[in-house]
Amino acid sequence: MQSGTLELVCPAGNAAMLRAAVEAGADAVYLGLKNATNARHFPGLNFSPDELGASIAWAQQRGVRVFLAINTYPKEHNCSEWHRAIDHAAALGVDALILADLGLMAYARERFPELRLHASVQASATSAPALQLLARRFGVVRAVLPRVLSIDQVQQVARDAAPLEIEVFGFGGLCIMVEGRCSLSSYATGEAPNHQGACSPARFVSWEEKENGLEARLNGFLIDRYAPDEPAGYPTLCKGRFRVDGEIGYALESPTSLNTLDLLPQLKQCGVRAIKIEGRQRSVAYVRTVTQVWRRAIDALTANPERYTVQTAWQNELARISEGNQTTLGPYSRPWK
Ligand code: SF4
């Protein structure tokens, strides 16, 4: 990849998704182990240690970098599992570790001084001083910015935190809370992405066909009720429909996907180094489609920045796989400010 071009970082929830991302044109993939050390600890996802080694080798042979997310927070009694994950990743030759916990950053930096460290979105670092501290103290070379900043704020942080590389989310599901600090799932189930690696863990989810529709519950809490012909979503608390002041609706956030194709030139001008695609919990087809579209967009921007325009075909492809079949610029655009 040429220096100065945007790096396309794609999700690999399993080996098939990794293959799809690489074949569709990802510059890098990010993935996790089959345990609570990563924030997408769902059944059927992620990599065993053996699968991880084979997948890293397969991707790297094709010139694609592999980043391992160890981006949950251990507790005092179980740090050793997170340390083992770091040791293992370093031994297998991952290109970078994506970390959130300061103790883990210190551990990785001391034991593996040559290993690239990226600050996870879960680290909740949203200001240049916070990022500079991570760079200075732990040698962090890249940070994934939480999805709470406007485009102006991204520009300011990228400028002030340089030479630290900035990675931002370009497409996918939104987390409305400052990442790493949401306790909604924990409130309902006792388990949350921050420590156990899963928001709304599948074992707490139940579906029941009732007289007035399909009910989706999380640990007994009614999250949504769907009419017979209405597409049903996964019951995540922030995207549930609740009764507020006598009216039922999306009280916190409606299901929608972030889509920043329109902002791509601006993000590049801001000094953003990499675009991250959300969705390790989605399907192989999702990964293939999103990666293909974003590959075309980044290549078009690189080839001719002045003539970059978002193609209708790209938007149509992305709309098909977006949550609620709709997209948003999310916090990047705040017209009311
Ligand atoms: S409940 Fe929503 S905002 Fe909170 S962690 Fe889960 S997806 Fe993110």
**Which 3-state string (H, E, C) describes 265-323?**
HHHHHCCCCEEEECCCCCCHHHHHHHHHHHHHHHHHHHHCHHHCCCCHHHHHHHHHCCH
Best probe residue, ligand 1, of 236, 239, 278, 280 (max atoms within 8 Å of C-beta): 236
pLDDT score for 99: 98
The answer to whether the CB of 193 is under 6 A from ligand 1 is yes
What is the model's pLDDT at position 231? Answer: 83
Dihedral sign for Cα 213, 216, 222, 225, please.
negative
Task: Give the residue, by CA position, lying nearest to ligand 1 atom 3.
Answer: 175
* pLDDT for res 2: 59
* pLDDT for 193: 84
Residue 21 near residue 12, CB atoms below 8 Å:
yes
Q: Is 240 in the pocket of ligand 1 (CB under 6 A)?
A: no
Q: What is the mean pLDDT of each run of 10 residues along the chain (337 residues)?
A: 83 98 98 94 92 96 98 92 97 97 98 98 94 98 94 96 97 78 90 87 94 93 92 89 92 86 96 96 96 98 96 94 82 72
For atom 2 of ligand 1, the residue with the nearest CA is 238
pLDDT for res 3 = 59
CB of 329 shorter than 6 A to ligand 1: no
Query: Distance (Å, rounded) from C-alpha 302 to C-alpha 208?
Result: 49
The residue to mutate among 199, 224, 282, 323, having the most atoms of ligand 1 within 8 angstroms of its beta carbon, is 199
Where are the domains positioned within the chain? Answer: 7-174+256-332, 184-250
Question: What number does CATH give the domain 7-174+256-332?
Answer: 3.20.20.70
Strand spans (E) along the chain: 7-11, 28-31, 65-70, 96-99, 117-119, 140-144, 165-173, 205-210, 213-218, 221-226, 241-244, 247-250, 257-259, 274-277, 327-328
